[in-house]
Amino acid sequence: MEDIPKHSMHTLVFRSLKRTHDMFISDQGAALPDNEAASRIGRKIKALSEYGPVLHLAKMQMKQSAKQDQIQNGRSESTQLAIMPADSTSDGAAKTNTSSVKHQPGTQDIKNVQENNRALLAANTRPIAPRKAQIMPKPRWHAPWKLYRVISGHLGWVRCIAFEPGNEWFCTGSNDRTIKIWDLASGKLKLSLTGHISSVRGLTVSDRNPYLFSCGEDKLVKCWDLEQNKVVRHYHGHLSACYGIDLHPTIDILVTCGRDSVARVWDMRTKSNIMTLSGHTNTVADVKCQAAVPEVITASHDCTVRLWDLAAGKSRSVLTNHKKSVRSIALHPTQYTFASGAPDNIKQWKFPDGDFIQNLSGHNAIVNCLALNTDGVLVSGADNGTIHMWDWRTGYNFQRTKAPVQPGSLDSESGVFAMAFDKSESRLITCEADKTIKIYKEDDEASEETHPVQWKPEILRKKRF
């Protein structure tokens, strides 16, 4: 019995390749039959797919070339007739006839071709608009704001503020577990409401009903009747501290948010929890409602801003541009835009899907609150007590201020926790960590000469309007 010869892997592979090649050599060697009709169709298809939009230009060019050839031929014939010598045996009449042949035929044809060329150029060339250089819009001049009144009365950090629709009084909530109502004109205390058993973190006053709504770290959401100055409804459902509250401008619903990472939608009348907007993975710090679309905006410590569609009951879009926790939202009173504040940047967005507009950089602190008026002034307040004023359109920071802490308070107790413009937008009221309420107004003596706009355009920001 003979032994089977052992070959190397190299030899075996090449043998296999050779056998495969021999098997299919007949297919490789045979040329495909030449089908002229199929080739013509293939060329037409390729030309149509690759040069379809400009094929008509080639046809026009061919027609134009043919016309020019005809004109050139006509010119050559007329030249030959013009230079033909007169017959020596002809008389004067014959000479006259010969001289009459010396005209310029083909002139009308040349004019027609020129007109056709102009028409073709007009049809096939589109006017290119000159590209305008992008210009950074110059910021408007805004009067600087100055502190003119400090109100004391709370025994703890002042955490929230809300204005009455008639602009006669405003209310504040504090860590001393009370809600105090102040006269806006005089700054005097009118009333103190007690009922919460922990810090009051959110307040809002209804435009259509005599109701004040409050929420706090005791998980309670209360409805106060301002005619009787007592609680008439409780909204139970939050599993942890409640940090933000807002009323819908047109629908009788109330939205609250808190440390249980959800926003809850309540029926104002029946006290029922209509909807629970869940999706955030950390504390929801602020909530706002806007009327144009039934939409709720929430800002969270998970670094995202969510826009919720109330009709669908789910998140419409998630804005993940922020890199740090978002603690405040401000809606523009007239434009279809809003702002969100975080330690990295204050960002402007456009409704309804949250398209990014621009960054407002420079407030390098934990931004606790934002306020925005119709004049285009955005105000941001931070944990270190600094207040920055911004021009909304350009993002220009036209003023930076920090009020001194009140006697008896530590220098570290200078945080700004809440702020709001009154209904006339002539006063800005801030709630601070030194247990005071500060009222700012525009400086009447300031002008563009005394406080010029010191604006230096930086890298151009692309706005997405």
* 200-247 tens-digit pLDDT: 999 999 998 899 999 999 999 999 999 999 999 999 999 999 999 999
C-alpha distances out from residue 200 to 5, 212, 413, Å: 94, 13, 18
- CATH of 149-370, picked from 2.130.10.10, 2.170.120.12, 3.20.20.70, 2.40.128.110, is 2.130.10.10
How far apart are the C-alpha atoms of 140 and 453, rounded to whole Å? 8
- Gyration radius of the chain's alpha carbons: 41
Asked if pLDDT for residue 379 goes beyond 60, the answer is yes
Percent of all residues in the chain with a pLDDT value above 90, rounded to a whole number: 53
Bridge partners of 145? Answer: 442
How far apart are the C-alpha atoms of 300 and 284, rounded to whole Å? 4
Nearest to 370 by CA among 396, 339, 404: 339
How far apart are the C-alpha atoms of 126 and 60, rounded to whole Å? 17
pLDDT of residue 32: 57
pLDDT of residue 134: 59
- Least confident span in 95-109, 180-194, 235-249, 441-455: 95-109
Is the pTM here over 0.85, yes or no? no
How far apart are the C-alpha atoms of 295 and 291, rounded to whole Å? 7
Tell me the average pLDDT across 322-343. Answer: 93
Using the 8-state DSSP alphabet, how is residue 289 labeled?
Answer: E
- The torsion defined by the Cα of 19, 21, 24 and 26, in degrees rounded to 10, comes to -110
pLDDT of residue 457: 65
Contact 329, 343 (CB under 8 A): no
pLDDT of residue 7: 80
Task: Give the DSSP H or E segment for 308.
Answer: strand 305-309
What mean pLDDT, rounded, does the chain reach?
Answer: 84
Tokens of 265: 């939608």
Cβ neighbours of residue 24 closer than 8 Å, sequence gap 6 or more: none
Helix (H, G, I), strand (E, B) or coil at 84: coil
Sign for the pseudo-dihedral over CA of 103, 109, 113, 114: positive
Tell me the average pLDDT across 73-84. Answer: 58
Asked if pLDDT for residue 397 goes beyond 70, the answer is yes
Contact 114, 82 (CB under 8 A): no
pLDDT of residue 86: 44
pLDDT of residue 292: 84
Asked if pLDDT for residue 47 goes beyond 60, the answer is yes
Contact 332, 372 (CB under 8 A): yes
Bridge partners of 158? Answer: 174
Label residue 106 by pLDDT band (50, 70, 90).
low
How far apart are the C-alpha atoms of 436 and 188, rounded to whole Å? 13
Contact 330, 380 (CB under 8 A): no
Tokens of 444: 């009447």
Tell me the average pLDDT across 192-207. Answer: 94
> What are the sequence ranges of the domains in the chain?
149-370
Label residue 82 by pLDDT band (50, 70, 90).
very low
User: For 121-145, what is each residue's pLDDT tens digit?
Assistant: 555 555 555 666 556 678 888 999 9
Asked if pLDDT for residue 459 goes beyond 80, the answer is no
Contact 255, 287 (CB under 8 A): yes
Tokens of 222: 């209360």
